Chains A and B, each alone.
Chain A
Amino acid sequence: MANTVVIGAGLSGLVAAIRLARAGRGVTLLTKGIGGLPLSQGTVDILGYAPDRVETPIQASASMPEAHPYRVLGPAAIAAGVAYVQELLGDRLVGSPERNVLLPTAVGSLRPTCLVPTSMTAGVVTGGIRYVLVGFRQLKDFYPLLCAGNLERQTTPDGQPIHARGIILDMPAVEDMADSNAIGYARSLDNPAYRIKLAAVIKPMLEDGEVVGFPAMVGEHDASAHRHLEQLLDHPVFEVPLPPPGVPGMRLNALLTGLAKEAGVRIVAGARVVTFESDGDRILSVGQATAGRIRQYAADTFVYAPGGFESGALNMDSYGTVTETLFDLPLHGLGPDLITAGEPADQALFRVGVGVDKEMRVVDPAGNAPYSNLYAAGGILAGAIRWSEKSGDGIALASAVTAADSILKGA
């Protein structure tokens, strides 16, 4: 059976693995941990800032600098990537890739994003919306009065007012617990009895027409928890993402990991891929540092989706030398002054990464492929500052689907 090794269990690694396995390939996914999705907000950002706030992300992607992954991929590939995750997750993600929406953050700013989990859709900013934010004395990661105060100071993009107020409850996730975290609350909210108890406390405090915002912890596993809470309160309810790890990101990770296993992907987690074997321009196998030895995994094609600096796939030493740490791949975006005294969002260092051609095959700056069977996807790609552009999810999806399709076409 034709087989592919995927390295990395983030959004791009999982999506590429699912697409390849569903097309009948044997897929082994190697990963150090359980991927970065639990640290995400559970939404799908395509392009939020370029550098001004973006309303139509696919259209705006064409205005990115030439070296940006979106220019390499093109609008059709972005749309295909986003469409694929919508196909995988069905009605759990709401929205259109043609249009961004604004969601309140935990500090009451307005964040542009594109596809939104069902549990967040009621929070999308509209003119005249009346929010009530609910916090808990025992939860240190969400301050409803701060959130509401900042929301009140803003308007919608077309100048309509936003109303917001906050409520603080005294209700731990587990009885007698002094200090509860979001995961603890999410596990309690998986229990319908806890939701009924909570709703009974809140309901008398609500006013007509208010939309109720909770910190994002309305159930870890029970997908019906959000709808149940809405019914109990008889008000629309939405979740506000908290600092990581985020429950919506954990849900997304669990869903995609489950789909990967269902599709027959072999997931081997817990150890870094540290070596590889090649013959001429072909990678033959990669070696994962399993307990006691390095285990080689052979394949005919490889998708490299390990993330960037944050996972150690890219490294900068104390002399300022940047390297890709597994294959020692040629990097794009190198030059003097990678770090300057300017704004964090403008640092050239963050644009350094691995370059790819239109098929997502790894290429050097001259456009030559060091290996004919090595594809890259996601955060390792050069040319984007994902966190300030809010482009990471879109890049991950578009590059993963493109890389998978290139492998399937070539096979």
Chain B
Amino acid sequence: MFEPDTYEHDLLNRASLDHCVKCTICETQCPVAAVTPLFSGPKYVGPQAERFRHGESVDHSLDYCSSCGICTHVCPQGVHIAELNSVARSAMKADHMPLRDQLISRTTLMGMTMTPLAPVANAVLRFKPALVAVEKVVGIHRNAAMPTAHVQTLVGWLRSRTAPKNPAPRGKLIFFHGCAQNYFEVETGIKTIEVLEHLGFEVIVPKQGCCGLPLQSNGIFDTARSWVRKLVAQLREAPQDLTIISCSTSCGGMLKHEANEILGVKDADLLEVGGRMRDVCEFLLEMYDNGDLDTSDWLPNELTVPYHAPCQLRGQNIGTPAVQLLELVPGLTVVESGAYCCGIAGTYGLKKEKYDIAMKVGKPVFDKVVAINEGVAACDSETCRWQIEQATSVPTVHPIAFIHQAMGLSKLPVSTGG
């Protein structure tokens, strides 16, 4: 239970729930309620239960909400359903935060531990008895989609490479790599930087830590706040008039709106940084719309690609820019998954009690990917890519990989090069 006069308490009683007209559209679109009776749906645990909360949670099925945010996205009245429910869940778990949730939400720790031990860590993650032990002791499902560790981090690559000497006629950009691109999705980070440099930007990569999103989505708010504030200060050490590019939909979304709307961090610095943050496909499509992206020399790629727009991207309310962007590649056909969520929702699908639900949530995505499969699928979010790969065995890449290839920057075709 939260003390009166705290932000959480206020949020639990906030006014947006009065905008709820009980139209129930959110209930019909919720991907979790559609597959399990364990979750009664966003309206029931949210704007309805809210009236009885008085600072604490009344409906424990709330724990089964995956925080995908689709309820807020589809609400015609502007009710902050997902945000209300995230705060209520934090209140519910405050006294008994599972060790597992403490562990999986510290992504930098995971990355720092796994990188020097990458071959060992990856071997352990493929060793069934070890995974069964982890499931029993910690509560991470034995089949959960875990990241692959890399010997070299993105920061290590930046240090070891020869930076381009070419002039940068389009000026400078800041790259926000987050934990994922630094430790687990190094390739995506490298390709993003190379695409931006190819376009004539100079890419600045300031030292940066974790945005705190995994902590936030697991309800560990205080630590999440201090981490996001620290990150904001780090990003502001670079010139403060530059656009910031992210190729992680979840971390970008954290800085754009979740730290403000869920954690209640109202610092002017955070809002300023959030306002400069762009998803890389959003940024490139806006360039195209403004006539600043020349695609005339893009290499053709005769391929049909299943594409999943992750829930975290939808939460940014920028449409699905990757679809329009990929369709600029000659020969490339994009088929959307047509589903709202792949089930993983950050760390939700890792948890042993939620794994089966997450797999059911993602089934329409997996079925579409398998049906279309020509060797590779695309998705903007790293955890979703791991989930889709794990469930379908179809290599799944960030859309930037296709742009990288179209620009002639990739040595291997996307479907085999990762």
A and B form one complex:
yes
B28–A266 touching, CB < 8 Å: no
Cβ contact within 8 Å between B319 and A292: no
- The answer to whether A245 touches B318 (Cβ under 8 A) is no
B319 contacts which of A181, A250, A268, A312 (Cβ < 8 Å)? A268
Interchain CA distance A174-B360 in the complex, whole Å: 15
Contact B27 A183 (CB under 8 A): yes
Listed residue (B24, B76, B77, B336) with the most chain A CB atoms within 10 angstroms of its CB: B76
B416 CB–A CB distance under 8 Å: no
Cβ A288 vs Cβ B317 within 8 A? yes
Query: Does chain B have a CB within 8 A of A38?
Result: yes
Given A33-B25, A244-B24, are A292 and B274 also a contact pair (CB < 8 Å)?
yes
The interface residues of chain B lying within 8 Å CB-to-CB of A34 are 25, 29, 74, 76
Chain A interfacial residues counted at CB < 8 A: 32
Q: Flag if B28 contacts A183 (CB, 8 Å).
A: yes
Does the CB pair A290–B318 fall under 8 Å?
Answer: yes
In the complex, what residue of chain B is closest to A295 when comparing beta carbons?
A: B318
Asked if A267 is at the interface of the complex by the 8 Å CB criterion, the answer is: yes
A311 with B257, Cβ < 8 A, contacts A183-B27, A290-B317 known:
no
- State the CA gap A183–B76 with chains docked (Å): 19
A39 within 8 Å of B by Cβ? yes
B368 CB → nearest A CB, Å: 13
Q: Are B23 and A270 in contact (CB under 8 A)?
A: no
Q: Is the CB of B76 within 8 A of A270?
A: no
Interface membership of B80, Cβ < 8 A:
no
**Complex alpha-carbon distance, A382 and B5, angstroms:** 45
Alpha-carbon distance A266/B319, docked complex (angstroms): 7
In the assembled complex, A291 has its CB within 8 A of some CB on chain B: yes
Q: List A137-188 residues whose CB lies under 8 Å from chain B.
A: 174, 177, 181, 183, 187
Asked if A270 contacts B314 (CB within 8 A), the reply is: yes
A261 to B320, CA, bound (A): 11
A267 smallest CB distance to B (angstroms): 6
B37 CB contact (under 8 Å) in A32, A177, A183, A267: A177
Per the bound structure, the CA–CA distance linking A34 and B77 in Å amounts to 11
A267 lies within 8 A of B319 (CB): yes
- Tell which of A33, A250, A289, A291 touches B75, judged by Cβ atoms closer than 8 Å: A33
Q: Which of A33, A267, A290, A295 has the most CB of B within 10 A?
A: A33
Q: Is A36 an interface residue (CB 8 A)?
A: yes
Distance in Å: Cβ of B228 to nearest Cβ of chain A: 13
For A50, the chain B residues whose CB sits under 8 A away are: none
CA distance A261 to B25 in the complex (A): 21
Given contacts A269-B73, A269-B74, contact A293 B275 (CB under 8 A): yes
Cβ-neighbour of B256 out of A270, A292, A311 (below 8 A): A292
Q: Does A72 contact B (CB under 8 A)?
A: no
Q: How far is the CA of A245 from the CA of B317 in the complex (A)?
A: 23
Query: Which parts of A307-338 form the interface with B (CB within 8 Å)?
Result: 311-312
A48 contacts B by Cβ under 8 Å: no
B188 at the interface (CB under 8 A from A): no
Quick one: which of B24, B27, B256 has the most chain A CB within 10 A?
Answer: B24
| Complex Cα spacing A38 to B253, Å | 28
Return chain A residues, CB-CB under 8 Å to B25.
33-34, 38-39, 245
CB-based contact A272/B74 at 8 Å:
no
Pair A292/B23 contact, Cβ less than 8 Å: no
Give chain B interface residues in 75-124, CB to chain A under 8 Å.
75-78
Q: Is the CB of A291 within 8 A of B28?
A: no
Residue pair A272, B318 in contact (C-beta under 8 Å): no
Indicate the member of B23, B34, B256 with the most A CB atoms within 10 Å.
Answer: B23
Residue ID in chain A nearest B336 by CB atoms? A261
Q: Mark B13-41, 1 if CB is under 8 A from A, else 0.
A: 00000000001110111000010010000
Which B residues, 270 to 297, have Cβ-Cβ distances below 8 Å to chain A? 271, 274-275, 277
Residues of A within 8 A of B (CB): 32-36, 38-39, 174, 177, 181, 183, 187, 244-245, 250, 261, 266-272, 288-293, 295, 311-312
Give B residues with C-beta under 8 Å from A.
23-25, 27-29, 34, 37, 72-78, 253, 255-257, 271, 274-275, 277, 314-319, 324, 336
| Extra A-B contacts (12), CB below 8 Å, given A34-B25, A266-B319, A269-B73 | A32-B75, A33-B74, A245-B23, A269-B74, A269-B319, A288-B317, A291-B256, A291-B317, A292-B255, A292-B257, A292-B316, A293-B274
